[in-house]
Structures are given as structure tokens and as C-alpha cells.
Amino acid sequence: MPHDLTRRDLLALTAGAAAALVPTAAPAQPTLRPIPPSREAIPAVGLGTWITFNVGNDKVARDSCTEVMRAFFAAGGTLIDSSPMYGSSQKVVGHGLNKLDSAKVFAADKVWISSAASGPAQIEASRTAWGVPRFDLLQVHNLLSWEPHLKTLFAMKALGSLRYVGITTSEGRRHAEFERVMRAHPLDFIQVTYNIIDREVEARILPLAQERGMAVIVNRPFQEGDLTRKLARHPLPAWAAEIECTSWAQVILKFIISHPAVTCAIPATTRVDHVRENMAAATGRMPDAALRARMIAHVAKL
Amino acid sequence: MSEWWTYSLSDFLLFSPRTYYRLFELYNLAIWPAQLAALAGGIAILMAWRRGGRAHGRMISGLLAGAWLWVAWAYLLEHYDTINWAASYFAIGFVLQALLLLWVGVVRDRLRLKWWRDPGSRLGLGVFVLAFAIYPLMAPLFGRPWLQAETFGVAPDPTVVATLGILVAAERKQLMLVVIPLVWCIVSGATLWTMEAPEAFVLAAIAILTLAWMGLRRSAPIP
């Protein structure tokens, strides 16, 4: 059941559209979405770091990632998501935050370790890698040892050293167990894979998130680039102009973030032009239910 | 990790092909001129192999063990570990292989080679030459810069392939020494396959060739 919109929500949701009307050279501000438990608004497009930010100690590549982050923040983005599973990605994010205005970041990370006792140490190592005083959101990665890690995360939240608690899965794994955890625990966030092809979460997970008042982060929006590569062989349909899309990537992102349960999609990229293109998808008109159905039918035929 | 069957190879690929090959570029720049020492080591192995004699097995085993130890430390721990958290586990495998080479080849002198005497020695020499002379050419052959070349003695794949060549040419079948190189062929081959890199086929072919040869041949006593 969708929650009722408050005045604050309405202000947040219309902020992007209002900004778009201002005649200025600055990019339009992205649509904001409320995190249900707190009503705090975050932009509907974030930044993922899987593969793209794992560049090790390569100074050139690290600086390139910093430029991606700079463009992301300049376009109004805030939520960056990483994990200890992603190799050097956390340190590369930390490198960028050190060079940029880190105050803008909504720091979302994960705990990913079998040993329950090692969870706090891993979280602290992650925090040090990011160079942030605390994380905004910590998620149990792919439900690995989720019971003890959730206890740790809820304890951190109670102490004020963490703002939000979540769980993640990807590629449709362990959805039955995922659903059980969602029903049994007062999570603030869930993270799942969702795109115009992979729509399994529409049946149960997304409605349950709405019912339970949980924010939803969507990972792998482009199927790690496979989806955009496949669609790039086909011309952009005429209806794309109706929702102000100039690329398939924007079509895919607008499809995702127009689902009423979705709070934020987190595409990953190594390119500044792509991050700008992604952030632009969080602005302007969004597809309504009828157009979403047309979008699904069109892509299914390709 | 539960529901392991739902994972594909690409779920384990933590980095892009660009990052993977760029790592070799940075590694080659960082260790220069160690490549020259590795080149000298490869030539020394070929000369000892050609000449034969009482100490050739010990010398070749010692040089190979040194190469495996170098790769474990300089490449896997100091470089690959920055983009792959599994690299430290791979390094343990490389150190184990070095210790096995030292034990079997140096201490027990059980790794003696034949030079161009039978199909096994010719096949083994061919595989070694592939690793030593052809592998460094793969980067430019596949359109990458020379600086990203992978050379025997400093990069894992050509070191592993060269070792398999030597084991194929060995007078005595050394199954214990084949296990870790074959496991690496699977690990690295899967990584390259996921990155759609043509070198994956080279590793797969060498692994299959080694397995087939080990299956066909009988263990012969040292004369």
C-alpha cells in the first residue's frame, strides 16, 4: 500500500521540476524521492561502483573516477553505493570524496563477510576506506550471514552511528528468503535488481516494500551494459521523446524510477558523459502506467 | 555462498578488461628491469635443458620456483590484490607450487628433462617456447600496447604455461606438480573468458593438452 504524500514529500518531488523551469545554464535538478521511514528526500538516480570503480592504485583511472563523481555531484546526485566485495572501489570512492565536497554524499555501503564477529571490523575498514565519519546506509550484502549482521546494524542505528539499515540481493537470487527478512525486520532500505527485462520483483518484493514503508534501491539497471548494448542496435522509439529521453539508457532508467515503489536506481559508469546522461534521466517527465506498459511491450518485441 | 548455481562467471569478474590489462602496464613499469632478469632466466632454462647433465633438473626447478615466488609476491600480492580480493589466496597457491618445485626438483632431483628425444619432449619444448617467446607478443597481436605484455617469470599465465611445458617434457610423470598450474589455467582462463579475451583459448588448450598427455603417458623411471 503506497504511503500518503506529505507536504514535505510534495515539495521534494516537485523540486526537480521547479528547478527545470528556471532559465539557467546549470543542469536541471534531479527528481527527489522520499525515504519512507524518515521522509528524507534523495535523488532518484545514484551512482553504483561495481566493476567501474575497481581500478586499484591506477592514479589516472582513480582521477577519472573522481571526475565521474564530480559530474555526479554537479548534476545533483548524492547516493553512492559500494561494497567490500567490489575490490578497490571503496578506496577509490574515498579518493574522490577526499578531493571533492564529500558533504554532499549519501554514503551507502554493505557488510559482506561470513563471520558474524568480523562484521564490525569490516564495517570500520569500509568507513576508513570511504573517509566518512559514518555511513548513511549499511546493507547486508546478498543476505550473507544476515541475521547477526542485521543485529549489528540495528545496534549501530540505535547508537546513532548509522542512519539506515538495509539488505540486498541481485539477479533475482533468494527472493523467498529476502521477502521473509522484509516481513520480519523493520528495514529502511532494500536493494534489488530491476529493469525493463528483469521484472520479477514487481510481483511481490516491490509491493511489499511499499506496504512495509521501505525505500528501494535498484541495482544492475543496464544488466552490466548488456541491455544498453542490445538496445543500441535499435532506433529509439517515438515515445521516448514524450518522456524527454535522448538515449536508451535514459529510457531504461526512467522506466525503473517511474515505478512507484522505487526510490533510486544506481547505474555504474566510468564516463562523465554517461553519468550526466544518467542524471538527466532523473529530470523531466516520467512515463505513466500506460506508457510503461507500452515500453515493456516494445522492448519485448526487439 | 548459497544458491551457487544461480551465479554465472561474470558475477565473479570484479574489474573491467581495461583495468585488468592496465594493471600489467603499471606492473611492468614498476618492476622494470626485472623483465630482463626473467628473460635471462628463461634462456638459462633452455640452455640447461639443451645441455642436460647431472645438475640440469635442479637448476631448472630452482629457476622455476624463483619465478613462481616472484609472481606470488610482486604480481599477485603487490598488484593483482588491489583489484581482486582473491589474489592473496592465489598467492598461497603459487608459493606452494614453488615449494613443491624446490622439494621435487631441487631436493629430490626428480625433475629431469629430455631434449627433443620423443613426442613428449618435443611437445613440452613447444609449450615452453610458446610461453617464453609468443606470450609477450600477444598484447600487440591483440591490439594492446607493448607495455601490457605478459612475460615469462614475471606474469602468471606465461609462467604457468612454461611450467606445464617443462612438466610435459619431464622424464618422470609429476602429477603433484601439475595440479596447481592446471587450477590456475581454470581460474585465469575463466577470467579471460568472461572478459571475452582470446588468450582464454590458449590457456584452455594448454591445460587440455597437458591433461591428455599426462593421461596417455606412463610413468617412466629415471635412467
Amino acid, single-letter form, for residue B124: G
In this predicted structure, what is the pLDDT of residue A20? 42
Domain total of chain A: 1
Which residues does residue B113 pair with via DSSP β-bridges, in sequence order?
A: B170
Cell for A219? 541495482
Does A9 fall in a domain?
A: no
| Mean of pLDDT over chain B | 92
| pLDDT grade for B7, boundaries at 50, 70 and 90 | low
Dihedral pair phi/psi, residue A79, rounded to 5°: -80, 120
Tell me if B19 and A144 make a contact (CB, 8 A cut-off): no
DSSP at A186? -
Q: What are A98-101's contacts with CB under 8 Å, separation 24+?
A: A98/A131, A99/A66, A100/A66, A100/A69, A100/A70, A100/A73, A101/A73
Q: What angle do CA A212, A217, A219 make, to 5 degrees?
A: 140
Record the cell numbers describing residue B198, joined without a space.
Answer: 582470446
ipTM for the complex shown: 0.89
Instruction: Say how many C-beta atoms besides its own lie within 10 A of residue B195's C-beta.
Output: 18
With respect to residue A235, please indicate whether it lies within any of the assigned structural domains.
yes
Nearest to B133 by CA among B26, B43, B200: B43
Handedness of CA B190, B192, B195, B201 (dihedral sign): negative
Classify residue A171 as exposed, middle or buried by CB count within 10 Å of its CB (0-12, 13-18, 19+): middle
Reported confidence tier of residue B219, pLDDT bands at 50, 70, 90 = low
Q: Do B14 and A51 touch (CB under 8 A)?
A: yes
Q: Which residues in chain A touch residue B22, judged by CB atoms under 8 angstroms apart? A: 55, 58, 61
pLDDT in tens, A141-178: 999 999 999 999 999 999 999 999 999 998 778 899 99
How many CB pairs below 8 A link A and B? 50
Contact yes or no for A56 and B6 at CB 8 A: no
Query: B200-216 in b/e burial notation, b at 16+ Cβ within 10 A?
Result: bebbbebbebbeebbee
Using an 8 Å CB-CB cutoff, list chain A residues near B2: 174
Q: Contacts for B133-141 with beta carbons within 8 Å, 24 or more apart?
A: B135/B161, B138/B199, B138/B202, B139/B21, B139/B24
Query: Which residues in chain A come in under a pLDDT of 50?
Result: 1-24
Q: Which one of B2, B19, B85 has the shortest CB-CB distance to A55?
A: B19
Element (H, E) at A167: strand A162-168
Question: Using CB atoms, which residue from A87, A142, A270 is nearest to B84?
Answer: A87
**A47 located within any domain:** yes
| Cβ neighbours of A55 in B, within 8 Å | 15, 19, 22, 83
The pTM of the full predicted model, rounded to 2 decimals, is 0.89
Q: What is the domain range of residue A114?
A: 43-301
Query: What's the CATH code of the domain at A229?
Result: 3.20.20.100
- What is the domain partition of chain B in residue ranges? 15-216
Read off the amino acid at residue A3. Answer: H
* pLDDT for residue B217: 76
Return the pLDDT at A177.
Answer: 93
List CB contacts (< 8 A) between A88 and chain B: 82-83
Give me the residue label for grid cell 547508537: A159
